[in-house]
Amino acid sequence: MIHGNAIGLDYHDATVRMCVLSPEGKTLANHNCPNDWQAIRAAAGKHGPVARVGIEACGGAANLAEQLVQLAGWHVDLGHPGYIARMKKTPDKSDKTDAFVIGDLARLGYLPKVWLAPQVVRELRMLVRHRAGLVKERTRLKQRIRAVLREQRIKDDSGVTAWTVTWMAWLKQAAVSAQGRFVIDADLRLLGFTLKEIARTEKQLRRLSVKDGLVQQLKEEPGIGDVTAWTLRAEIGTFRRFNNAKQLARFCGLSPRNASSGKKQADAGLIQASNDNLRSVLIEAAHRLIRCEARWRQLAAKLKAAGKKPGVVVAAIANRWTRSLFSRMKAVSPAA
């Protein structure tokens, strides 16, 4: 039994629903508090010492959790929202019951936890994800311009690689209709703005990570550049939070997903519970490793000779490289 009360916090922008449970599971309080760590600490302190605190992970929850850890001195765990939702098992939803369930799970030690990233990692993560969104917008704009050309059956007879300076000059002279030209010119302006924002964001990322030892260590790996290093640092944080290389590869979404039942044993592609941007960056890194590193090129050739499909080969290389990276990075990773 824990020595102190357990608290469940259901986070909202203006208020936080707080449920205080005794070590025996008796509800001592369940009410709204201002979204402020001092107000929460004062309200909880009326019922005795605090042993464990659970808060469901969402936007803003990590910041509050860090304040409660550093300023209030509490032991706070972030809960995985998907798993918590499955464990509630009730057709009704209210802030009162949500806070109770989170608090009870924290009291029993059953709260499905996620890592509470320190502020420096959260700040880097914000920039990395902002850049990823800009890159997706860049892709979307290019696809939209190409769609206009296809719609009007404009053949690309420039003879050069798309999106180069020469190709862009051809695009501006392409014989599209008046409305097609209007759309293309509008998208080109947006594309130019997006490219500038990507460059500005990358400059900010370099400024933020220039003294980050793990980022610099990752960039020394063959085939790893700024974007891959930034993404690994932002999404993984520290390699020390994983017990082994297999756990890291699974977190990165590079492990095969089992779909077995009875005598039927089958794989169903890669697991789906992962960060899409992190997995994409690692898959791209695997393509570079196959091109540039003899070890991985030979392994890829061996897998292809065994009948593996190209996508499976690249994913397998990404998986094995990530596992090998774990052993090299765990010792040099920060504690948090």
Burial class (CB in 10 A: 0-12, 13-18, 19+), 202: middle
312 pLDDT above the threshold of 80: yes
Closest CA relative to residue 123, chosen from 68, 56, 74, 66:
66
Mention every residue, 6+ apart, whose C-beta is less than 8 A from residue 198. 131, 134, 135, 138
In this prediction the pTM is: 0.87
- The pLDDT, as a whole number, for residue 268 is 62
Percent of the chain with pLDDT over 70: 96
24 pLDDT above the threshold of 90: yes
Q: Give the Cα separation of 59 and 13 in Å (integer).
A: 9
- The pLDDT, as a whole number, for residue 267 is 66
- The pLDDT, as a whole number, for residue 45 is 93
Average of per-residue pLDDT across 166-174: 91
Q: For residue 262, what pLDDT band results from cuts at 50, 70 and 90? A: low
Print burial letters for 161-194: b (CB count within 10 Å at least 16), e (below 16): eeeeeeeeeebeebebeeebeebbeebeebbeeb
- The pLDDT, as a whole number, for residue 92 is 74
Q: For residue 34, what pLDDT band results from cuts at 50, 70 and 90? A: very high
Task: Work out the end-to-end distance of the chain between its first and last CA atoms, rounded to an integer number of angstroms.
Answer: 28
Closest CA relative to residue 209, chosen from 143, 131, 278:
131
Among the ranges given (39-43, 92-96, 168-172, 236-240), the one the predictor scored with the smallest mean pLDDT = 92-96
User: Facing residues of 78 across strands?
Assistant: 55, 114
Percent of the chain with pLDDT over 90: 79
Average of per-residue pLDDT across 155-163: 85
Average of per-residue pLDDT across 60-84: 93
Q: Give the Cα separation of 256 and 238 in Å (integer).
A: 23
28 pLDDT above the threshold of 90: yes
Stronger pLDDT, 5 or 155, i.e. the higher one: 5
